[in-house]
Amino acid sequence: MHATTLRADTAARIRRPSWSPTRRVSGGRLPGLMLVAAAAVCTGCGGYNSHPIVTEAEQELAVNDQVAEKLGDGVKRSSGVTGSSSDTDGRAALQFEVTGSQAAGTAVVEGRMFEDSWNITSLEVRLDGDERLVLTHDLEERMGVDTPKFDPTAAAPTTPTTPPAPPPDIEIALPPGVPGGPPAE
């Protein structure tokens, strides 16, 4: 008898573990877990649904005249939020579906974190076809901007032409010898 061959009665007594990928499942835990995992993937797990830039974007979409004109009244988010956000890098790029009484689109919002506060840097709604509603300027007018505007006519800041002298109590000890020359004996 070959060493790798099992007798029929021995093979029948070997029981596969319950976690085996070859185990046949007709009910029980595995289908339930697969259903929960599929639901989490479909809804986006809710991780970004309450992100500060999503909340601010939703508020802008609800009151923006351009959005009301194209999508109709009652514009609301109609899907989970997808994209990426990193507190470490301080950057976020998120998107979600929006619907109104007349049409639907995809809201795309980008933001940066500055001093522990998220701010929107770009907001747009992409409609069917190639039409885009860029709402960043409208949002800035309504909310205000913390970034000072560049003024090309402003005078340059005055800086001293010569640096101040170092304090007299600092001493710098140089090694003996000429720099670049042979060492002193």
The residue among 107, 8, 118 whose CA lies nearest residue 57 is: 107
Whether 19 is covered by a domain: the verdict is: no
Whether 39 is covered by a domain: the verdict is: no
Residue whose tokens read 């002193």: 184
What's the structural domain count of the chain?
1
Structure tokens at 58: 């939703």
Structure tokens at 177: 């010898």
Indicate the range of 64-68, 119-123, 130-134, 142-146 predicted with least confidence: 142-146
Q: Residue 43 carries which side chain, given as an amino acid letter? A: T
Whether 98 is covered by a domain: the verdict is: yes
pLDDT of residue 156: 77
99: domain range? 48-143
| CB count in 10 Å sphere of residue 51 | 18
Q: Which residues, in sequence order, are CB contacts of 111 under 8 Å at separation 6+?
A: 52, 53, 91, 92, 118, 119, 120, 121
Whether 120 is covered by a domain: the verdict is: yes
User: What residues are paired with 76 via a beta bridge?
Assistant: 99
Mean pLDDT within 79-85: 91
Indicate the range of 38-47, 153-162, 170-179 predicted with least confidence: 38-47
Is pLDDT above 70 for 46?
A: no
Whether 14 is covered by a domain: the verdict is: no
Whether 53 is covered by a domain: the verdict is: yes
pLDDT of residue 23: 47
Q: Residue 19 carries which side chain, given as an amino acid letter? A: W
Indicate the range of 39-43, 117-121, 160-164, 179-183 predicted with least confidence: 39-43
